[in-house]
Structure 1
Amino acid sequence: MRRQQGFTLVELVMVIVLLGIVATISVQFVALSTRGALDVSERQQRALQGVVISEQITREVREAFPLSVRENGECLEWLPVIAGTGYESLTTGPGFDEVSIVPFGRAVPAGARLVVYGYGSAQSDLYGTSNPGPVSPAIIAVADSDTTIELSASHRFRERSPEKRVYAITSPVSVCQVGQWLYRFSGYSPGSTQPSAAALNGAGGTREVMSANLVGGSFNLKVTPPSLQRAAVVNFEFELANLNGDETTRMSQEVQIRNVP
């Protein structure tokens, strides 16, 4: 009779134990690899998010009326420029409601305002409504080839531009941190005193979310006014948090405002 061969119980148990160890190691390897890939992906997403936020702020600030950029520790505020040109003559009597210009070369919507900024104006004057002053009331819509701008109310410009320059601007824009949120506010009324984030929340304008994962108090601002040697410089930085962990990504940007009045 032929003898039958097989595995003993001890051998089977050893095989099962070894397979369990191999399976455990494989699962841990896959889990750690997956976690590592997710961590890398989250870092890349935060880096991309930081680049997008920085680029958006940079592009808008570069299109600001340069002397209007200001900060109060929690908000960065500026007056966006729509168009600029030279003027032939400013408002004169009897109506004081028309400005003769070289055509803008583009349409300017109704509701925009004109700025003629001279050496004697303060920054707060740009946000005020004084008459006479450097900023006009709202204008009537202007076509790209128009040589005359009609104001919605009479106005006298207090100073003259050395280069006879006039700019069309819209309502102010602010970027503020509120807790972990970074907001962009627009469409609110200007004021000679820069509003806080809390005031802008109830100002009745438009509020847009730029980020929902900022580290508290990380939106730091510094505005260096222009001088005779250079334009204004804006420095800002912020820190983005990982909502699923403790990692953060810090972004820092310097913007030189290229427009000059």
Structure 2
Amino acid sequence: MKRQCGFTIIEIVATLLVSSILAVGIIGYIGDAVEGFATSGNRNKLATSGRVVVDRLAMELHNAVPNSIRITAAQPAGDQCLEFIPFVGATNYVDPPFTGPGGTEFEVIDFNPVLTAASPAGLQAVIYPINTQALYDGGSPGPRSLVDEIEDTGGADGKVTVRLDASHRFSRRSPVARIYVAEQPVSFCLVGNRLFRYENYGFQSTQCTPSTPACLPTTAPDRKLISLSIDNASLAAYDIIPATLRRNAIVSMEFNFTEQGDEVRLKHEVLMRNVP
């Protein structure tokens, strides 16, 4: 009889056992690699999202009227608001009213780039804003007045005329004769895990928060969602480092972005370059 060739039961079992061990190792290796790739992608997405947020905040803060930045106290859940007054133009003034009952019209050096505004302009003329509370309170005398019109009467005198909405006296002269033309305040508020931008709510003597009744807008377009997935529990999103004799004020920001168990914490500081 011819001898038959094949595998014994022991050989088959041993082969299956070795193959299973190898398969488990390979699957685990592939699983770890896939998980690592997914985690890396998720963290990159969080970092990119965070960088967009801090870059936008930094860009807008660079156009803030000096000494207009104020923040609320950080809540245990991380809720906090930052508010400032953005300006659309700056130049040097010629003859604004600083004495007596004030006035309604004065001249400034041409804006660069050109800035004019028809009546009602809805803008604010700001001169030497060294007191944040006085800047938001308004009133005459004071550092801020509502502008009715900015008109370039032509000619080669290099000046434009600023007309105010009502008679006003500015409280102090700027050492560098600087005047800012500003818009209404804006706020960036962290509410839960979301960051919102608020605008067109006017000047408020006491800083508004989303929980302040009838203060900040509650719907678009005056409330815009900037970012999701922020967990700032026990963290302060904003802090102001006061100016010293050697540098201007600094706004410090810290956001903790989280998603699917991954966290990316970003810290950023913005040096305020504008001066009164």
* TM category, shorter: 0.7 to 0.9
Instruction: Supply the RMSD in Å over aligned alpha carbons.
Output: 2.8
Selected match of 1:210 from 206, 209, 226: 226
Task: Give the direction of change, closer, same or farther, for the CA distance of 1:22–1:189 in structure 2 (3 Å limit).
Answer: same
Selected match of 1:131 from 128, 137, 140: 140
Superposition pairs of residues 35-46 of structure 1, within 5 angstroms: 35-46=35-46
Q: CA deviation at 1:5?
A: 2.6
Superposition pairs of residues 71-110 of structure 1, within 5 angstroms: 71-73=71-73, 74-91=80-97, 96-105=103-112, 106-109=114-117, 110=121
Task: Give the direction of change, closer, same or farther, for the CA distance of 1:239–1:90 in structure 2 (3 Å limit).
Answer: same
The TM-score, its normalising length taken from structure 1, stands at 0.85
Identity of matched residues, %? 32
Selected match of 1:220 from 214, 237, 247: 237
Q: CA deviation at 1:102?
A: 0.6
Amino acid at match of 1:72: T
Q: CA deviation at 1:20?
A: 3.2
Q: CA deviation at 1:3?
A: 4.1
Q: CA deviation at 1:130?
A: 0.8
Superposition pairs of residues 1-261 of structure 1, within 5 angstroms: 2-73=2-73, 74-91=80-97, 96-105=103-112, 106-109=114-117, 110-117=121-128, 122-140=131-149, 147-199=160-212, 202-204=215-217, 206-215=222-231, 216-241=233-258, 243-245=259-261, 247-261=262-276
The TM-score, its normalising length taken from structure 2, stands at 0.81
Q: Count residues in correspondence.
A: 257
Q: CA deviation at 1:31?
A: 1.2
Q: The residue matched to 1:240 in structure 2 has which SS?
A: strand
Q: CA deviation at 1:228?
A: 4.0
CA distance in 1, matches of 2:35, 2:272: 42
CA distance in 1, matches of 2:10, 2:151: 94
Q: Deviations over 1:114-149 (max 9, x none)?
A: 10126xx63111112312321111432556976112
Q: The residue matched to 2:103 in structure 1 has which SS?
A: coil
Q: CA deviation at 1:81?
A: 1.8
Amino acid at match of 1:63: N
Task: Give the direction of change, closer, same or farther, for the CA distance of 1:88–1:219 in structure 2 (3 Å limit).
Answer: same
CA distance in 1, matches of 2:29, 2:101: 84
CA distance in 2, matches of 1:22, 1:108: 76
Q: The residue matched to 1:139 in structure 2 has which SS?
A: strand
CA distance in 2, matches of 1:3, 1:251: 75
